[in-house]
């Protein structure tokens, strides 16, 4: 039996779009980390090949398009014979996890959660039902007991390991949902780059927001900004603009363009960090969401302080001082944005704090070394761990709904006898 893993497969919802989404950045980071460690990497996706798949091919990664609900996957995964399979999000584990287990039973199965989806969706539901923001910000919710929650928890418990992006989410899974700590690995974003020199305060202008508009928290954020927050800021800071960047804007989003009132829709950004270098503050008052927010890490790398809510700051800075200001309401967001925009000393301090967070948590070379070693240790011990993982074994049995379908088969058989 192998004691060292050599082949790693990432099964991705779409090809990693590192220029348009934090999830795409994350997938590309994982593939690069394993490739640099000398592993043979494959990226499989049900998406048609495009410029994003071509980009990762250039990194030395083998790309394969797969079909949903099709046995052709079984033959492909047997031919690759991977040692480690990573599913980006639990939905990919639901679709392909059982096929991997049946065809490559010795493979180690990992979910990269990206964020805890049921947490984000519970907050979104709470917001739509008028729950006050303070309760949403504190995750003081009664919206967890639904199918989304149970499906994602089952997927996590079925798998050997799940990567979680924030200490908040790891603790939530352990303390509220009794997920064994041994099945969770805290893996934040990890940028293998030098932090660029920050532009001077005086050379920076305007507020900025950046985010993929297929992601509901981003759309809600700018809608809230447009409705309640921006006009009072613009009135107090005449001439200051709010620039909105983002991939996949809908017609509704594009119609927000309002130059008269300083609201400028800029379209997609070719490079987020280079774009953010010229702005004074990232203004991102998220009302719901989960996980690591790539817009905030990108801003800190660019030396740009952040004004956000507890949702935006959640899991982002560990015990370090936050690189910006955290606001609890639209009124507070307006007040802080107006006060901080011209405050040079405060801006310099926040910019420095953001850079320190990035250096400590997101650009630490030891993160990749620890990841590679963790996978190795877990891979070596996976067979014994799987034997003792009774929760996983029960879920694999029950998730196939064997008792229901066996009963239905007998029922149908008896009917056919009549």
CA distance 51 to 57: 10
Same domain, 255 and 177: no
The structural domain count of the chain equals: 2
Q: Is 412 inside any structural domain?
A: no
Q: Is 12 inside any structural domain?
A: yes
Q: What is the pLDDT of residues 74-102, one digit of tens each?
A: 999 999 999 999 999 999 999 999 999 99
* Strands, sheet with 207-210, edge to edge from the N-terminal-most edge strand: 263-267, 242-245, 207-210, 281-284, 306-308, 324-326
Beta-carbon-side half-sphere exposure of residue 92 (alpha carbons within 13 Å): 26
Same domain, 358 and 370: no
Q: Is 180 inside any structural domain?
A: yes
DSSP symbol at 183: G
pLDDT for the residue numbered 395: 86
pLDDT for the residue numbered 288: 95
Q: Is 196 inside any structural domain?
A: no
CA distance 14 to 392: 27
Q: Are 323 and 305 in contact (CB under 8 A)?
A: yes
Same domain, 160 and 295: no
Q: Is 307 inside any structural domain?
A: yes
Q: Are 395 and 159 in contact (CB under 8 A)?
A: no
Q: Is 248 exposed, middle or buried (0-12, 13-18, 19+ CB in 10 A)?
A: middle
Buried b / exposed e over 379-394, threshold 16 CB at 10 Å, is: bbebeebeeebeebee
Q: Is 411 inside any structural domain?
A: no
**Residue with structure tokens 């033959």?**
75
Helix axes 90-103, 72-80, angle to 10 degrees: 70
**Residue with structure tokens 């509704």?**
252
Same domain, 277 and 235: yes
Q: What is the pLDDT of residues 102-113, one digit of tens each?
A: 999 999 999 999
Q: Is 413 inside any structural domain?
A: no
Same domain, 400 and 327: no
Same domain, 22 and 171: yes
Same domain, 332 and 376: no
pLDDT for the residue numbered 139: 65
Same domain, 210 and 332: yes
pLDDT for the residue numbered 154: 92
pLDDT for the residue numbered 179: 96
User: Tell me, what CATH number does 49's domain have?
Assistant: 3.40.50.2000
pLDDT for the residue numbered 335: 98
The dihedrals phi and psi of 132, each to the nearest 5 degrees, come to -65, 150
Same domain, 334 and 388: no
- Domain range for 183 is 7-190+365-406
Which is nearest to 107 in space by CA: 9, 13, 193?
9
Give helix then strand counts, H and E, for the chain: 20, 13
List the chain residues with pLDDT less than 70. 1-2, 139-145, 399-404, 417-418
Same domain, 160 and 227: no
Residues in Cβ contact with 21 at an 8 Å cutoff, skipping those fewer than 6 apart: 212, 214, 215, 247, 294
DSSP symbol at 202: G
Residues in Cβ contact with 260 at an 8 Å cutoff, skipping those fewer than 6 apart: none
CB atoms within 10 A of CB 164: 28
Q: Is 416 inside any structural domain?
A: no
pLDDT for the residue numbered 88: 93
DSSP symbol at 258: B
pLDDT for the residue numbered 314: 95
Does the pTM surpass 0.85? The reply is yes
Same domain, 133 and 94: yes
Same domain, 379 and 357: no
């Amino acid at each position: 039996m192998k004691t060292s893993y050599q082949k790693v497969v990432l099964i991705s919802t779409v090809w990693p779009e590192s220029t348009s989404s934090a999830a795409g950045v994350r997938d590309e980071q994982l593939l690069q980390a394993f490739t640099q460690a000398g592993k043979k990497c494959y990226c499989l996706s049900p998406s048609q090949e495009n410029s994003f798949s071509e980009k990762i091919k250039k990194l030395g990664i083998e790309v394969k398009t797969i079909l949903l609900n099709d046995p052709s996957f079984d033959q492909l995964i047997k031919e690759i014979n991977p040692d480690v399979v990573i599913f980006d999000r639990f939905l990919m584990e639901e679709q392909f996890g059982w096929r991997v287990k049946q065809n490559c039973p010795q493979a180690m199965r990992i979910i990269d959660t990206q964020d805890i989806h049921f947490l984000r969706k519970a907050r979104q539901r709470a917001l739509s039902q008028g729950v006050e923001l303070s309760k949403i910000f504190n995750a003081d919710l009664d919206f967890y007991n639904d199918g989304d929650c149970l499906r994602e928890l089952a997927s996590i418990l079925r798998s050997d390991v799940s990567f979680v992006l924030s200490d908040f989410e790891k603790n939530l899974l352990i303390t509220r949902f009794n997920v064994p700590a041994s099945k969770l690995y805290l893996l934040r974003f990890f940028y293998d780059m030098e932090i660029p020199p920050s532009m001077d305060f005086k050379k920076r202008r305007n507020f900025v927001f950046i985010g993929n508009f297929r992601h509901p928290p981003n759309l809600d954020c700018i809608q809230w900004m447009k409705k309640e927050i921006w006009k009072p800021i613009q009135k107090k800071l005449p001439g200051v603009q709010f620039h909105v960047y983002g991939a996949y804007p809908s017609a509704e989003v594009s119609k927000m363009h309002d130059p008269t009132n300083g609201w400028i829709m800029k379209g997609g950004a070719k490079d987020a960090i280079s774009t953010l270098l010229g702005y004074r503050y990232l203004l991102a008052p998220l009302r719901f969401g989960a996980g690591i927010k790539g817009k905030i890490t990108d801003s800190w790398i660019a030396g740009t302080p952040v004004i956000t809510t507890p949702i935006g700051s959640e899991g982002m800075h560990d015990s370090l001082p936050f690189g910006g200001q955290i606001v609890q309401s639209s009124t507070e967001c307006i007040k802080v944005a107006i006060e901080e925009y011209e405050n040079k000393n405060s801006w310099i301090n926040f910019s420095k704090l953001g850079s320190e967070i990035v250096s400590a948590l997101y650009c630490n070379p030891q993160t990749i070394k620890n990841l590679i070693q963790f996978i190795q240790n877990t891979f070596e011990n996976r067979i014994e761990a799987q034997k003792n993982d009774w929760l996983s074994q029960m879920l694999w049995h029950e998730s196939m709904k064997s008792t229901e379908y066996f009963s239905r088969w007998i029922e149908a058989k008896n009917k056919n006898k009549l």
